[in-house]
């Protein structure tokens, strides 16, 4: 340091610095390079606009309005998607059904992520017998086929929750039941991912460094380690939304899901299977929407997986 | 002089599948307030493990502190509750790690990481912690601290990160700063800066420093007192000048001989001395002195009995059956 104070040297050097790309910028660049993911994202935005924007044009009363004179009408100018077995307009029902289906998908994943992260994080961080106990429980849950568990739980808890009024709207209590049981039957995969992540992260030196500053275990788990494993959680959570929507469709199709008159894409299919050939519009439109949503979410999930992987390079091309 | 940390007969073992590893075998030393203690030795000699024991952060299992006492301000740290220990870590004893690339959390901002200890221990609000963090970053020589607290570790260079690491350890003005090879991962110019910084901070804040290193060149400038460790034992303990002038253990002597010197009397072209072999693994129980197989001064007794740490000179201790100055066996 010849004459110049160190801090001055640093100050001078700071002025010539090129700003490095932030991890966020790199992530966005990697995501955008994934064409299908961008397509999926656009598709999803359209589907959300369709379900939630459509509610400003049609009321829920219209969605549930039955007119037996109009039953099983094919698509026409008046009913663009046709009408169902009791004469309800399918277009409006897919709009309101979409809201419930998407809501179930997202809410079930919230339940799943909370459970999966809690169990995985505690098992991975503490290890020992706590890990053993929690992981054996996870494996036990894995070994019961999810569909079977879904059906049994839906049968068992169905109708045990009264209808709820939210935002001035009436929701069937079965929506909550479905959300909870989908969440309860799907957290295991995520718990394993989080546990594996914690197992490796807890050995890192910054965790030891956090310990030496007197940070509590709780804060180390949730504020120091968890943000480091957020990437796989987001990816897995995104893909789970698609699975939750499909699960809801299964059980509703089998008549154990959300109870009419509340529409979901799944329970719209329920009434359709007697008319597979005679009135295909009953299943084509809700079916198409389910397929599009699930596909789009999967594309977005794939894109995210690449985007959050720091080893995937962004080349200039 | 006030003794702030006193370690008595500390023993640490690791229970592994290959057997019990005796990492630290009954070491005793003390640290005085405001002074610097240097601990040197090869990798695997128990330097870091003994420091982690002070913090009570030995991973258990497999590690276990099997004996001894660690007296911090007269209180045995091995007996205090976990809550009390959480307070002592950070608030009263700070620690700086070897590799600043891995000891900072990559997803938290610098400000958040430095501020955390103050929020935990001093009950600071976010704003207070931020204000103090800016002061600390100024203190450790980081320019534009009010900008940089919002940045992440990857936006800092290695030397800068180590400064952040030091700021983190100093956040609550601890009485002891433990530095576990803080310069090993840095290049030489940065090493010198960190050493200078530590000296300056010690003069300003008056804390005791325990500096672990395997670089005798770095520590000479910094330490008041030195400890040389080998295979979990203290083999020599002396004032820093004494140790470099009159090393009294063959291991210290060999370490000093293997240092490159500018004023070498050996002339150009001569090879640097090395110590053949490597330290014992800690699993094998050795009857005699653990350094005996690599020692130039070895006598029969070395292979049979492990020498105790004895006073060889005024305030200068060594554990050797042989007086290295004369080459003759001590009459003990």
Question: Mind listing the domains of chain B with CATH numbers?
Answer: 3-223 (3.40.50.300)
Q: Which two tokens stand for residue A70?
A: 């109009």
**Number of separate domains in chain A:** 1
B95 with A206: Cβ contact below 8 A: no
- Split at pLDDT 50, 70, 90, the class of B269 is low
Residue A260: inside a domain: yes
- Measure A213 CA to nearest chain B CA, in Å: 4
Query: Which residue of chain A is at minimal alpha-carbon distance from B87?
Result: A214
Residue A5: inside a domain: no
Q: Which domain holds residue A257?
A: 23-316
| Contact predicate A105/A120, CB 8 Å | no
Residue A6: inside a domain: no
Q: What is the spatial distance between Cα B133 and Cα A74, in angstroms, rounded to a whole number?
A: 70
Q: What is the spatial distance between Cα B280 and Cα B293, in angstroms, rounded to a whole number?
A: 9
A208 with B89: Cβ contact below 8 A: no
For residue B239, the surrounding DSSP H or E stretch is strand B233-239
B99 with A205: Cβ contact below 8 A: yes
A210 with B116: Cβ contact below 8 A: yes
Residue of A126, A212, A219 to mutate, interface with B, max B Cβ within 10 Å: A212
Q: Which two tokens stand for residue A104?
A: 């179930």
> B146 at the A interface (CB within 8 A)?
no
Helices (H), B140-279: 145-148, 158-170, 188-205, 216-220, 240-245, 250-257
The residue with greater pLDDT, B265 or A31, is: A31
Among A149-153, B49-53, B135-139, whose mean pLDDT is lowest?
A149-153
Q: Which of B103, B120, B193 sits opposite A215 (nearest CB)?
A: B120
Q: Which two tokens stand for residue A115?
A: 């459970």
- Split at pLDDT 50, 70, 90, the class of B210 is very high
pTM of the model: 0.80
Residues of chain B in contact with residue A215, where contact means CB-CB under 8 angstroms, are: 86, 90, 116-117, 120
Residue A233: inside a domain: yes
- Measure B79 CA to nearest chain A CA, in Å: 17
Residue A70: inside a domain: yes
Q: What is the spatial distance between Cα A76 and Cα A154, in angstroms, rounded to a whole number?
A: 37
How high is the pLDDT of residue A143?
87
A228 with B94: Cβ contact below 8 A: no
Residue of B54, B87, B103, B155 to mutate, interface with A, max A Cβ within 10 Å: B103
Query: Which among A41-45, B47-51, B183-187 has the top mean pLDDT?
Result: A41-45
- Measure A187 CA to nearest chain B CA, in Å: 25
Query: Which residue of chain B is at minimal alpha-carbon distance from A206?
Result: B103
- Measure A12 CA to nearest chain B CA, in Å: 10
Number of neighbours of residue A45 by Cβ within 10 angstroms: 11
Number of neighbours of residue A25 by Cβ within 10 angstroms: 12
Q: Which of B103, B168, B169 sits opposite A205 (nearest CB)?
A: B103
Nearest Cα to Cα of residue A244 among A52, A151, A109: A109
Report the complex ipTM. 0.81
| Contact predicate A287/A81, CB 8 Å | no
- Measure A11 CA to nearest chain B CA, in Å: 6
Nearest Cα to Cα of residue B114 among B165, B53, B69: B165
Residue A189: inside a domain: yes
- Measure B89 CA to nearest chain A CA, in Å: 5
B102 with A224: Cβ contact below 8 A: no
Q: What is the mean pLDDT of residues B36-51?
A: 87
Query: In a 3-state reduction of DSSP, which class is residue B124?
Result: coil
> B225 at the A interface (CB within 8 A)?
no
Q: Which residues pair with A170 in a beta bridge?
A: A165
CATH classification at residue A75: 1.10.3720.10
Residue A8: inside a domain: no
User: What does the DSSP 8-state code read for residue B17?
Assistant: T
Residue of B58, B86, B95, B107 to mutate, interface with A, max A Cβ within 10 Å: B107
> B168 at the A interface (CB within 8 A)?
yes
Per-residue pLDDT of chain A (317 residues; tens, 9 = 90+): 455 666 677 677 667 666 667 777 888 888 888 888 999 999 999 999 988 888 788 777 777 777 777 777 777 777 778 777 777 888 888 888 888 888 889 999 999 999 999 999 999 999 889 999 999 999 998 888 888 888 888 888 766 777 777 666 666 777 888 888 889 888 999 999 999 999 999 888 899 888 888 888 899 999 899 988 888 898 899 889 988 988 888 888 887 877 777 788 888 888 777 887 888 888 888 889 999 999 999 999 888 888 877 665 555 43
For A83, phi then psi, to 5°, come to -125, 160
Residue A17: inside a domain: no
The residue with greater pLDDT, B282 or A228, is: A228
Q: Which of B94, B141, B154 sits opposite A6 (nearest CB)?
A: B141
Residues of chain A in contact with residue B102, where contact means CB-CB under 8 angstroms, are: 204-206
Which stretches of A32-180 are assigned E, i.e. beta strand? 164-166, 169-171
- Measure B143 CA to nearest chain A CA, in Å: 6
Q: Which residues pair with B20 in a beta bridge?
A: B15
pLDDT tens track for B58-103: 887 788 888 888 998 888 888 888 888 888 888 889 998 888 888 8
Q: Assess whether the previous peptide bond of A39 is cis (omega < 30° from 0).
A: no
Residues of chain B in contact with residue A228, where contact means CB-CB under 8 angstroms, are: 105-107
A204 with B102: Cβ contact below 8 A: yes
Tell me the C-alpha to C-alpha distance, in Å, between residue A240 and each of A35, A133, A222, A235: 21, 25, 22, 9
DSSP per-residue codes, B39-74 = EE--TTSSHHHHHHHHTT---TTTEEEEEEEEEETT
A205 with B102: Cβ contact below 8 A: yes
Q: What is the spatial distance between Cα B23 and Cα B48, in angstroms, rounded to a whole number?
A: 10
CA–centroid distance for B151 within its chain: 30
């Amino acid at each position: 340091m010849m004459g110049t104070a160190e801090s001055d040297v640093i100050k001078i050097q700071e002025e010539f610095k090129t700003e490095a790309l932030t991890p966020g910028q790199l992530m966005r660049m990697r995501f955008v390079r994934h064409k299908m993911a961008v397509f999926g994202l656009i598709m999803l935005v359209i589907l959300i606009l369709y379900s939630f924007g459509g509610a400003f044009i049609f009321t829920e009363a219209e969605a549930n309005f039955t007119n037996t004179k109009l039953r099983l009408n094919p698509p026409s100018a008046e009913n663009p998607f046709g009408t169902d077995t009791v004469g309800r307009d399918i277009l409006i029902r897919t709009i309101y059904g979409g809201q419930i289906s998407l809501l179930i998908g997202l809410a079930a994943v919230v339940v799943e992520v909370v459970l999966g992260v809690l169990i995985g994080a505690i098992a991975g961080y503490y290890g020992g017998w706590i890990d053993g106990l929690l992981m054996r429980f996870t494996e036990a849950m894995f070994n019961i086929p999810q569909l079977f568990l879904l059906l049994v739980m839906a049968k068992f808890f169905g109708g045990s929750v009264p209808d709820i009024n939210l935002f001035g709207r009436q929701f069937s209590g079965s929506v909550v039941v479905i959300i909870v049981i989908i969440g309860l039957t799907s957290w295991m995969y995520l718990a394993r991912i989080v546990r594996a992540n914690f197992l490796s992260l807890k050995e890192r030196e910054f965790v030891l460094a956090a310990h030496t500053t007197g940070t509590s275990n709780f804060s180390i788990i949730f504020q120091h380690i968890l943000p480091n494993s957020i990437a796989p959680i987001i990816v897995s959570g995104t893909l789970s939304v698609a699975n939750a929507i499909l699960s809801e469709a299964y059980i509703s199709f089998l008549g154990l899901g959300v109870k009419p008159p509340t529409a979901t894409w799944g329970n719209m299919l329920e009434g359709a299977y007697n008319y597979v050939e005679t009135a295909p519009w009953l299943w084509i439109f809700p079916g198409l929407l389910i397929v599009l949503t699930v596909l789009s979410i999967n594309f977005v999930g794939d894109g995210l997986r690449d985007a959050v992987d720091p080893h995937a390079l962004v080349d200039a091309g | 002089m006030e003794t702030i940390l006193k370690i008595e007969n500390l023993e640490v073992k690791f229970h592994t599948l290959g057997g019990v590893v005796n990492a630290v075998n009954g070491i005793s030393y003390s640290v005085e307030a405001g002074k610097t203690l240097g601990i040197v030795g090869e990798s695997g000699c128990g330097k870091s493990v003994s420091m982690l024991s002070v913090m009570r952060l030995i991973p258990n299992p497999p590690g276990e502190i099997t004996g001894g006492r660690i007296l911090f301000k007269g209180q045995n740290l091995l007996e205090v509750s976990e809550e009390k220990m959480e307070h002592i870590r950070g608030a009263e004893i700070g620690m700086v790690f070897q590799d600043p690339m891995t000891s900072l959390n990559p997803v938290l901002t610098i400000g958040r990481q430095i501020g955390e200890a103050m929020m935990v221990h001093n009950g600071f609000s976010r704003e207070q912690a931020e204000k103090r963090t800016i002061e600390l970053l100024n203190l450790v020589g980081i320019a534009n601290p009010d900008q940089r607290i919002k940045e992440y570790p990857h936006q800092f260079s290695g030397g800068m990160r180590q400064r952040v690491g030091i700021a983190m350890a100093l956040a609550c003005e601890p009485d002891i700063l433990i530095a576990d090879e803080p310069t090993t991962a840095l290049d030489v110019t940065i090493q010198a800066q960190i050493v200078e910084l530590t000296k300056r901070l010690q003069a300003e804040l008056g804390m005791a420093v325990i500096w672990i290193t395997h670089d005798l060149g770095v520590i000479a400038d910094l330490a008041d007192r030195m400890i040389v460790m080998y295979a979990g034992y203290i083999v020599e303990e002396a004032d820093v000048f004494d140790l470099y002038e009159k090393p009294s253990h063959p291991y210290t002597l060999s370490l000093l001989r293997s240092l490159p010197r500018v004023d070498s009397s050996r002339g150009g072209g001569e090879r640097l001395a090395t110590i053949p072999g490597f330290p014992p693994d800690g699993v094998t129980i050795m009857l005699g002195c653990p350094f005996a197989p690599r020692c130039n001064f070895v006598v029969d007794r070395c292979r049979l009995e492990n020498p105790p740490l004895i006073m060889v000179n005024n305030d200068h201790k060594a554990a050797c059956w042989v007086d290295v100055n004369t080459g003759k066996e001590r009459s003990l």
